[in-house]
Each structure stands twice: as structure tokens, then as C-alpha cells.
Structure 1
């Protein structure tokens, strides 16, 4: 059985959980209200926009987004219905599927990005000094790699 958290550990953990959930909820609400996109939609669009030829195998996309196979399938199918992405067989083996960013998806991302950036800056970036941002980067890079 795990050792109980100390008072300081509990304080740090609760502050992280409560603030990150509140931030994510606010970002989600603002993005959806302004663009109709969810945070998952937006993240898929960003990752695909940065990929070679704006396409990735479904498994690789799921890995980058930290989604289960069923969750990525559901997400991409929802975005296909809205014309933001399309699915196609992988040219190399034909068995796998690729998610491909459509022109409509790229336009949606280009329209959403400046609006989303305002919220990200207002609720996170501009509230911290450069040293604090560096600590956050260092800490969560360590957590992500674990």
C-alpha cells in the first residue's frame, strides 16, 4: 500500500488538480463558445497541422494525444462527419488508417487559434513570470516522460 501524502504533498497535489481542472474547463468552454470546437478537436487539428503532409496513422495520433484506440476512433469519426479530417488507408500497408487534415479543418484551426491564444494568455501565460513558466515546463516535462 502506498504511503499517505504529507500535508505539503497533499497541498501541492490538490492545488495542481483543482487549478488544472478549472483551467481546462475554462479553456474548453471558451473555445467551444467561440469556435464550436472542443479542446480534443483543437488538439487533433494542431497535431495534424504539424505532421508531414498533414496526416498521421491513427495509432501514432492516439499516442501523441494520449488517447486509447477507441477514443481516437470516436474522436476522428466525429471530426470526419464535420469535414475537419478524413480517414484513408495507409499507403504503405493498406491495413492501417490515417487521419488527414482537410482544408476545412485547417481553416477551422486558423480561425480558432488566435481566439484560443487570447484565453491561454489571459488565464495562464500572462499570470506567470518567465521563471515560473520555466519551472512548469521542467516539472511537467519530467512528469510526461515518466
Structure 2
């Protein structure tokens, strides 16, 4: 296996492990599907995730690729998980478009508002667990 492929595989594995830990559910690497690729990771809710570990960045092309993979996967959101050398996984970047991020924020806002109205006690527990300013 080439050094570049090994680097990419290792980065995908690190992303899967990190998301599994934070989400508390399994996230795993996916096999490639060619033109109908659906991203590098499975298990990130409603997302197609494209992992990139490169010294030279082509962010716009990566985001376009992630968007195509979200369409192939039939999920509403896409993200590029981009790494530079010598950066810890939680400090790397999750890159998307403003349009994609705005739709995600609107969906979260609406879901939390619905939970708050339907079940205030569960909403309070949710806020205590996830907070508004805490870092995981």
C-alpha cells in the first residue's frame, strides 16, 4: 500500500474512532463505491463524510465530492473531515458549505424546540448532557 493510501486509511480510522467515542455509537470506515461513492464513514447521523489528509488542499473540490456523496447516500448533509500533519483529531477541521450548515442549524433548532415543547423534563436533561458551551 502506498504511503498516501496508508495515511488516508489511518485518518479515516482515526475519524471513525473519534466519532464513535463522541457519539456513543459505532462509526466505521466504508469501502469505496466508485462513481456512486457514499463517503468514507458510516454512522454519522444524516451525513456523508469525506475524510482528507493532504498537505495540499483543494477544499472546493472536496466539498463538491462530499455533496455528491450525500446525494448518492440520500442524506441531507455533507462534511469534509480535513487533516494537516501533526494536528490532533479533535482539532482538525469539519468543512462544509454555508448553505449546508444553515440547514443543519435550522434542523437542530427546530428539533430542540419541538422537544422542549413536547417534553420539558427530557429537554432539560438533553441540555444538561450536551450543554451550550461545553467541549467534548
Classify the TM-score, shorter chain: 0.3 to 0.5
The structure that is helix-richer by fraction is: 1
Structure number with bigger Rg: 1
TM-score normalized by the length of structure 2: 0.36
